[in-house]
Amino acid sequence: MFENKDNKPPAKTSQLTALSELGEFGLIDRLTSPVKLYHPETLKGIGDDAAVIDAGDHVLLLSTDLLVEGIHFDLTYVPFRHLGYKAAVVNISDIAAMNGIPKQMTVSIAASSRFSVEALDELYSGILIACEKYKVDLVGGDTSASTKGLVISVTITGTALREEVVYRSGARPGDLLCVTGDLGSAYMGLLVLEREKKVFQVNPGMQPELTGYDYQIGRQLKPEARTDIRNLFLGLGIKPTSMIDISDGLASEILHLCKHSDTGCKLFEEKIPIDAGTREMALEYKIIPSLTALSGGEDYELLFTVQQADYEKIKEVNGITVIGHMTDRSHGKFMITPDGKQVALTAQGWDGLK
Ligand code: ADP
Ligand code: MG
């Protein structure tokens, strides 16, 4: 079926498209645009934090994430145990982003001969700590050699009632844009770790200077998934109209909600919750503090929208901040700076504040 029947020579390299031309999201769109769904049970396929599958009295949520050494993690400063924990947590976070309960996961690894058995023991101990904390059953996986480096692929399931599931696509103009916790610290933690790595490369005798940055480094190396927010919503009697987890920057996640919900947005820069220490650190690094949140990523907090009528219910809740609202699509996607300037939001942060 896949034979080259005409015996045509392969296309010349010059006619081929470099992956970098499309970027990650462009590539996903291109590869998945011919996808057809054959089963009515598949309520939601590609395009959200998890797929949604009808299972009779409830729905099954299904999501997968791949972590590649040198792309997603750097073993010069990430301990194996933390890596395992994070690999599990980033998947659990995708179930939280659908307003579901995480249930089972599979873990597949490919490791080169560079790795010891003890290193992989540590990796698994981290995975299992996360499984215990979030009550997820590890039910399978696959193991392979690799020519170079370590690759970890985790697939997770979760459950929810059909009417409980929150998609990226449900936001309407006027809905309030909210975020859990604080943002930007994971990015500052990464900068500290990268800085100390450089120092170490120049002078291997030096001890890393990590004191004073515990919160930021913890946010980077040991993120948590906000599975608690589902219960908070239940307690408040709120159902968000849309939701996504913040794995990339806040800006890029807001744009995802706008794209899938077909809305515009207005984000207020001064409302973005940023830890005081992180803010101070950003200034020391000569970075505009809000950029750590807008473009940093890896905080694994939840970004969601609620109807304006729910404002009274959430305004006093500790750990939830209203950062803006959705608008009609024709109004565009903007951030308002503290001095009242309106700047266009882009996946990198914003335009026009050079
Ligand atoms: P997340 O950041 O929540 O992990 P992604 O941005 O990676 O989500 O993916 C967006 C959507 O595209 C998801 O529904 C995901 O399942 C789907 N997707 C990503 N890569 C592929 C692929 N290679 N083939 C099919 N679907 C994909
Ligand atoms: Mg996600």
For residue 2, pLDDT over 80 is answered with no
For residue 71, pLDDT over 70 is answered with yes
Q: In this prediction, what percent of the chain has a pLDDT beyond 90?
A: 87
Residue with the smallest CA separation from ligand 1 atom 17 is 46
β-pair partners for 174: none
For residue 270, pLDDT over 60 is answered with yes
Instruction: Give 323 Cα–ligand 1 centroid separation in angstroms.
Output: 26
pLDDT band for position 27 (cuts 50, 70, 90): very high
Quick one: which ligand is closest to 302's CA?
2
Measured CA to CA in angstroms, residue 260 lies from 15, 46, 222, 242, 256 at distances of 33, 12, 30, 9, 6
Measured CA to CA in angstroms, residue 84 lies from 6, 71, 114, 250 at distances of 48, 16, 18, 25
Mean pLDDT, rounded, for 254-263: 98
- Mean pLDDT for all residues in the chain: 94
pLDDT band for position 289 (cuts 50, 70, 90): very high
Alpha helices in the chain (DSSP H): 19-32, 80-96, 117-134, 185-202, 214-221, 228-236, 250-261, 276-284, 289-294, 311-314
- DSSP assigned state of 23: H
Q: What is the pTM of this model?
A: 0.93
Q: Is any atom of ligand 1 closer than 6 Å to the C-beta of 253?
A: no
What are the φ/ψ torsions at residue 218 (nearest 5 degrees)?
-60, -40
Mean pLDDT, rounded, for 211-235: 96
Residue with the smallest CA separation from ligand 1 atom 26 is 46
Instruction: Ligand 1, residue 50: give the atom nearest the CA.
Output: 14
- The pLDDT score that the predictor gives to residue 354 is 31
Residue with the smallest CA separation from ligand 1 atom 10 is 47
β-pair partners for 115: none
Q: Is any atom of ligand 1 closer than 6 Å to the C-beta of 72?
A: no
Tokens of 316: 């006093």
Quick one: which ligand is closest to 52's CA?
1
pLDDT band for position 348 (cuts 50, 70, 90): confident
Mean pLDDT, rounded, for 266-275: 98
For residue 10, pLDDT over 90 is answered with no
Residue where the block lists tokens 């089963």:
39
- The pLDDT score that the predictor gives to residue 5 is 56
- The pLDDT score that the predictor gives to residue 353 is 38
Report pLDDT digits (tens) over 151-189: 999 999 999 999 999 999 999 999 999 999 999 999 999
Quick one: which ligand is closest to 245's CA?
2
Q: Are 99 and 166 in contact (CB under 8 A)?
A: yes
